[in-house]
Amino acid sequence: MVEKDWCHYSDMPSPNAYIKLKVIFLDIDGVLNVIPVGHDKWGAIFHPHLVNNLKRLIDETGAKIVISSTWRMGNGLEGMIDMWKERDLPGEVIGITPNFMVHFKTTLCRGKEIDAYLEENPEIENYVIIDDDSDMEPHQLNNFVMTSGNTDHLDCVDLGYGLTKECTDWAIKILMS
C-alpha cells in the first residue's frame, strides 16, 4: 500500500469545495524552465515568454495548478505556493502530486502519481497534463500536452522544449472540451 502523505485540495476547507475544478498538472523542467535565465533562492528562473503562455492558459480556462514536477520534492506544497507568490507567477497552486518513485522503484511513474491525485480529488472535472516526458498512462493521453520535440514551434527553447504558444492552444482546447 502506498502511504497517502501528500497534501491535496480536499484537505483545504473551502465553502466552494463542491465547485468542479479544472486542473493543470504542471511539470517545470522542460516546460517553464529549459535554459535558466537566472537564479534566485528557489533555483532556475523560468523563461518569461513560457510563463506568459501559462498565464494565457489560466486566464482563458480558470484552471488551478497541481505541481507534478520534481521541484515539489525539495519544497513541498508550501514551498511551491511561496515560490509562486514571491516570483509573481500566474495562477494558484492548490496541490502537489504524491511521490511514488520509491514505491515503484522508478522515476517513470508520473502518470500513476497523477491518477492517484485524481482519485483523491473527485471534484476535478477536467485536467490537462503538461510535461516534457512521456511516462503517462494510456487513458491519460487525450489529456496530455508534451512540451518536447516541438522543433517546429516558433517560440520553442533549445530544440523543441517548453510550453509554446501551440502547446498552450492545445491545452486550452483540452480544458475547454
Q: 21 or 131: whose CB is closer to Mg ion? A: 131
- Chain mean position to CA 73: 14
User: Which residue's C-beta sits nearest to Mg ion?
Assistant: 30
Catalog residues that contact Mg ion under the rule CB under 5 A. 27, 29-30, 132
CB-wise, 27 or 113, nearer to Mg ion?
A: 27
User: Measured between alpha carbons, how far is 92 from 62 in angstroms, rounded to an integer?
Assistant: 10
Rounded to a whole number of angstroms, the minimum distance from the CB of residue 149 to Mg ion is 13
Question: Considering only CA atoms, which of 146, 74, 77, 163 is closest in space to residue 117?
Answer: 77
The CA distance from 174 to 177, in Å, is 5
Distance CA 115, CA 43 (A): 28
| CA 32 distance to own-chain centroid | 10
Min dist CB 33 to Mg ion, Å, is: 8
Cβ of residue 68: shortest distance to Mg ion, in angstroms?
Answer: 9
Residue 44 vs 60, nearer CB to Mg ion: 44
CB of 89 to Mg ion, least distance (A): 17
Which residue's CB is nearer to Mg ion, number 43 or number 60? 43
Residue whose C-alpha cell reads 514571491 in the numeric block: 86
